[in-house]
Structure 1
Amino acid sequence: MDGPQPVLQNPLVLLFQTVRTQTEALIDGLSDADATVQSMDDASPAKWHLAHTTWFFETMVLAPHASGYRVFDPAFDFLFNSYYETLGARLARPRRGMLSRPSLAAILDYRRHVTDAVIALLVGGAPKAVADLIELGCQHEQQHQELLLTDILHLFAQNPLASCFREPDPAPTKAAAPPAVRFIPFNGGITRIGHAGQGFAFDCEGPDHEVLIESFRLADRLVTNAEWLAFIADGGYRDPLLWLSDGWAAVKEGGWTAPLYWQERDGEFQTMTLHGRQPVEPAAPVTHVSYFEADAFATWAGKRLPTEAEWEHAARPLPIAGNFAGSERLTPLPATPGEGLRQMFGDVWEWTRSAYLPYPRFRPAAGAVGEYNGKFMSGQFVLRGGSCATPEGHVRATYRNFFPPHARWQFSGLRLAEDI
C-alpha cells in the first residue's frame, strides 16, 4: 500500500542519519586540497563524492516529492550529476578535480541543507515509493563511502610522502603463515540465485532464477600475498601464455610487474595502504589486482576463477560477517584458522569469471533511477563479497559489484575454483 509510513515504526530515519554521519566522518582530517584533487579519470575527489550523494537525494527525492523545497544551488545540477543522461548536461568526469569551488565548507553546508529536508520529509510521513527512493539513496551513498576510501588511497599513493590516511588500530603484527589452501566440494545441479523476498537489493540482483551448475570445488580462503610473490618469482608477469589477449596488452602497456601500489625496495616489496606505506604482509590476501591478473594467476596455479553462480551458491548458507570498514582496519587481514569457507565476506572483493549481464526477466526501473545499473551491462566483470572498505551491513550473498577487467584501484582479489 502506497501510504504514509509511521516514522516511529520505520528505521529509515536512523539509517539515513547514520549513513550521512558515516560519510562525513570519512573526511575527518582531510584538507580542502585533499578533498579537491582528482588523481585519475576513474577516480573522483572526496568533495565530489560528498556533493554527488547529496545531489542524488535532492534531485531524486526532494525536488519531485517535497512540497516547497528550495534547491540549494541550481548550478549543482551540472556539477554533481554523475551519468544520468535523462537529467541533463553535466561536468565531464575527468574534470571533476578542477572544481576548486565550491569549497569543502560550502559542500558541507549543502549536505546539512539536504539532510534536514529529507528528515523533515520522513517525519512528515513519506509515501512508500518515496521511502524506497530514500533507502536506495542510502545504499547509493554507502557505495560512495567505499569509493571515497579507494579514491583517497589512490590519491595519496601518487604523493612521494606516502601519507597516512588513518593510523592502524590496533597496530599491525606479523601474522603466521596460513595453512595450505583446501578445496571444498559442491555438488552440481539446479540452484537458484538472485535476490527474492524481503529486504533491500539493487535491481541488478534480481530476479531470482534457476541456473545449472556443474560440480566444483572452491578454495577455503583467499589467495595470499605470499602466493602472489611466488607467481611473480616464477615469471607470471612475463609469460604471455598465462594471459588473455587484452590482459597481455594491458601488462605491456601499463608495465605491470606486480599488483597496484607494490614497490620493490632492497629485495622486499612494500605497498601503499590507507595507513601509509607498509611492508607487504605475506599471509594477507592479495589486493588491487585486475580481472586480467586474477585470471592469469588462476591459469598459472592450474585452477580457474569461480562463476558468480558458484560463488553465490556456496555463500548463501553463510553468515554475512567479515572484515568490513566498520572494523576500522581498512586493510585485508590474514585468514583465521578454521574449517569450511572463510573470508567469503569482507577483506577483498572477489573477481568471478562471469560477465556482468542482466538476469533472465531483468527490467530496469522506470525513469532516471533506471540508469543506475542496467546501462553498464557491457564490458564488465562481476565481483562478490565486499571488502575491508565496504560499509558494515551493505552487502548480501546476492550483491553484484562490477568493474572493467583492467581496473586495479579497488580492493579486489581472488579465490580459486576447480572442476570436479
Structure 2
Amino acid sequence: MTHDPEALRTRAATALLAARDRTHLLTGCVEEPDLLAQHSPLMSPLVWDLAHIGNQEEQWLLRTVGGRDALRPELDSVYDAFAHPRASRPFLPLLGPAEAHGYVAEVRGRVLDILEGAALHGAPLLDAGFAFGMIAQHEQQHDETMLITHQLRRGPAVLTAPEPPDPTGGPLPAEVLVPGGPFTMGTSTEPWALDNERPAHPRTVAPFHLDTAPVSNAAYLRFIEDGGYDEPRWWAAEGWAQIREHGLRAPLFWRREGPGWVRRRFGVTEEVPPDEPVLHVSWYEADAYARWAGRRLPTEAEWEKAARHDPATGRSRRYPWGDADPEPGHANLGQRHLRPARVGSYPEGRSPLGVGQLIGDVWEWTADDFLPYPGFAAFPYREYSEVFFGGAYKVLRGGSFAVDPVACRGTFRNWDLPVRRQIFAGFRTARDAAPGAV
C-alpha cells in the first residue's frame, strides 16, 4: 500500500463511501416495518445495525481520532453490541429509521472533514489511515450481517444482482498436494489488518491434499441421500445432539419438493443448483460430511498455506493470485452477485498450486478453534477479538460473495459458533498425504 498521504486519504474516503452506498442499498430496499422488525432472534433489526454503524464511527473517528465533542453520547449504551444480545435489541429505545439515517449522515459528514486534515502517521490508530480502514471494515461486516438478515426475511425479493460468470478453462483435478514445510502465517505489514491477523510468524505443516474447489451441492446431496443425517458415527457428539434436537435433514433454507430439492434465496424459491458450493451449513455438518467422505476439514494453517504460499519463491502472498488487490476476475466478492459462483470459476484467482475459489463465494469452515497467534496484542480494543478466543468458536476463512474486498484478504480470520447455519458458510476438505510425499 502506498505511504503517500493523499493517496491514503483517497483510499480511506473511497472505502468509507463504498460501505455507505451498500448500507443505503440494504436499508433502502425495504419499508419501515421491515427495518424495525426482528426477522430472526439470531439477528438484530436492520435499523439497529444502521445506527450502530454510525455510533461506532462517532466513537472512533469523530471523538477518538478527531478529538471532537460527542454528538449523541446517550446512544453509546443503546448500541453497545456486548451489552445487548441480538435477541433483546428490538426492546431497546432505538432510533427510528429516519432519525437513524439522519444520525449516520451527520456523523459521516463530520468524519470526512476530519479525514481531509488528518495526519495519517505518527500514532498506531492513524498510521496508513488504520482507524478509517477499521471503520470501513466494520461497516462492511455489518452490511454482510444485514444481508444475512435479508436472507432470513420472509417476503418477496427486494434485492437483485447479475449472475456470476460461468466457469472457464476446463475442469479442475479434484485435489492437489500441498507440500509440507514452513511458511509465514499472518501479517505484520498489511496496514489495515486487524489484531487477530497479527503478528506474522513461522508455521510448519505436513504435506496434505486439499480440494481444489469448495464442496458442491451435488456432492453434499450424496451425503444426504446416503443417510448422512441418520448415522451418528459421522457426527461430533454436540453436532449429533443438535441435529436430533432440531430435526435437521439438510442445509438451512433447503426443502424437499417432489423428487428433488429446492431452496429459498433472498425471497426466491429455486431448485438447488448442483454445481454451486454448498451454503448455510454448520461446522458440525461440514465436519460430518468430511468424515463420511473419508477426509477431514483443513486446519487454519493448512488453509492459509494453500491460499498464500508461493512454492517458487517461498514467500507468502497477500492473496492466492499475488499481491494485487482483488479485481472482479479474481473472486466473487462485494455483493456483486447474490449467490456463490459455480465450482471451478475464477481461474485468474487460483493459487500457484491450482487451488480455486479460496477467496470469495463461501466462507470456509476450518478444523481449528479461534485462538490468538504467538505475540498477539489486542488493538485497539479487547472486544474485537480477544474476548472470543477459546474453544467455543471455530475459524472460517476466505470470505464469501457477501464480503467486501476491504474486509477480505489471505490473512483475514472470521469466527463463529459451530452451530451457526445462517451465515454464508461452506467448506472444502483435506486429507493427510502418504508418508514420503514432498
Scaled by the length of structure 2, what TM-score is found?
0.85
Once residues 416 and 49 of structure 2 are traced to their aligned partners in structure 1, the CA distance between those partners, rounded to angstroms, is 18
Tell me if the contact between 2:51 and 2:104 (Cα under 8 Å) persists in the aligned partners: yes
Point out where structure 2 has 5 or more consecutive residues left out of the alignment: 311-319, 434-438
Q: How far does residue 99 in structure 1 lie from its aligned partner after superposition?
A: 5.1
Once residues 378 and 8 of structure 2 are traced to their aligned partners in structure 1, the CA distance between those partners, rounded to angstroms, is 30
RMSD value, Cα: 2.5
Partner residue of 2:377? 363
Amino acid at match of 2:111: V
Tell me if the contact between 1:274 and 1:331 (Cα under 8 Å) persists in the aligned partners: no
Partner residue of 2:422? 409
Residues 6 and 151 of structure 1: is their aligned pair in 2 closer, same or farther, counting only changes over 3 Å? same
Partner residue of 2:316? none
Once residues 20 and 109 of structure 1 are traced to their aligned partners in structure 2, the CA distance between those partners, rounded to angstroms, is 13
Point out where structure 1 has 5 or more consecutive residues left out of the alignment: 84-89
Q: Which moved more, 1:230-239 or 1:144-153?
A: 144-153
Amino acid at match of 2:334: A
Once residues 127 and 346 of structure 1 are traced to their aligned partners in structure 2, the CA distance between those partners, rounded to angstroms, is 30
Q: Are positions 1:261 and 2:275 aligned together?
A: no
Tell me if the contact between 1:225 and 1:282 (Cα under 8 Å) persists in the aligned partners: yes
SS at match of 1:16: helix
Amino acid at match of 2:77: F
Amino acid at match of 2:344: T
SS at match of 1:353: strand
Partner residue of 2:18? 18
Residues 9 and 253 of structure 1: is their aligned pair in 2 closer, same or farther, counting only changes over 3 Å? closer
SS at match of 1:258: coil
Given the alignment, which residue of 207, 211, 218 partners 1:219? 211
Tell me if the contact between 1:192 and 1:210 (Cα under 8 Å) persists in the aligned partners: yes
Once residues 8 and 87 of structure 2 are traced to their aligned partners in structure 1, the CA distance between those partners, rounded to angstroms, is 43
Amino acid at match of 2:259: G
Given the alignment, which residue of 368, 382, 393 partners 1:380? 393
Q: How far does residue 179 in structure 1 lie from its aligned partner after superposition?
A: 4.9
**Correspondence 1:303-322 to 2 at 5 A:** 303-316=295-308, 317=310, 318-319=320-321, 320=326, 321-322=330-331
Partner residue of 1:334? 342
Partner residue of 2:313? none
Q: Are positions 1:288 and 2:288 aligned together?
A: no
Q: Are positions 1:398 and 2:420 aligned together?
A: no
SS at match of 1:53: helix
Amino acid at match of 1:114: V
SS at match of 1:303: coil
Partner residue of 1:193? 185
Given the alignment, which residue of 354, 357, 372 partners 1:343? 357
Once residues 174 and 165 of structure 2 are traced to their aligned partners in structure 1, the CA distance between those partners, rounded to angstroms, is 25
Tell me if the contact between 1:188 and 1:214 (Cα under 8 Å) persists in the aligned partners: yes
Residues 127 and 212 of structure 1: is their aligned pair in 2 closer, same or farther, counting only changes over 3 Å? closer
Once residues 408 and 104 of structure 1 are traced to their aligned partners in structure 2, the CA distance between those partners, rounded to angstroms, is 28
Tell me if the contact between 1:7 and 1:125 (Cα under 8 Å) persists in the aligned partners: no
Given the alignment, which residue of 111, 116, 139 partners 1:118? 111
Partner residue of 2:317? none
Residues 238 and 399 of structure 1: is their aligned pair in 2 closer, same or farther, counting only changes over 3 Å? same
SS at match of 1:62: helix
Partner residue of 2:137? 139
Q: How far does residue 306 in structure 1 lie from its aligned partner after superposition?
A: 0.6
Once residues 125 and 301 of structure 1 are traced to their aligned partners in structure 2, the CA distance between those partners, rounded to angstroms, is 54
Residues 174 and 188 of structure 1: is their aligned pair in 2 closer, same or farther, counting only changes over 3 Å? closer
Q: How far does residue 409 in structure 1 lie from its aligned partner after superposition?
A: 0.4
Once residues 267 and 407 of structure 2 are traced to their aligned partners in structure 1, the CA distance between those partners, rounded to angstroms, is 23
Scaled by the length of structure 1, what TM-score is found?
0.89
Q: How far does residue 98 in structure 1 lie from its aligned partner after superposition?
A: 3.3
Given the alignment, which residue of 159, 166, 169 partners 1:166? 159
Amino acid at match of 2:58: E
Q: Which moved more, 1:99-108 or 1:286-295?
A: 99-108
SS at match of 2:55: helix
Q: How far does residue 19 in structure 1 lie from its aligned partner after superposition?
A: 1.9
Partner residue of 1:82? 81
Residues 382 and 9 of structure 1: is their aligned pair in 2 closer, same or farther, counting only changes over 3 Å? closer
Amino acid at match of 1:61: L
Deviations along 1:362-392, one digit per CA (max 9) or x if unpaired, are 12125xx222111101211111111011113
Q: Which moved more, 1:94-103 or 1:12-21?
A: 94-103
Deviations along 1:263-321, one digit per CA (max 9) or x if unpaired, are 11122211111252221001111000000000000000011111111111111152252
Runs of 4+ in 1 over 6 A off after TM superposition: 172-176
Deviations along 1:315-347, one digit per CA (max 9) or x if unpaired, are 1152252111342x2111212366821111111
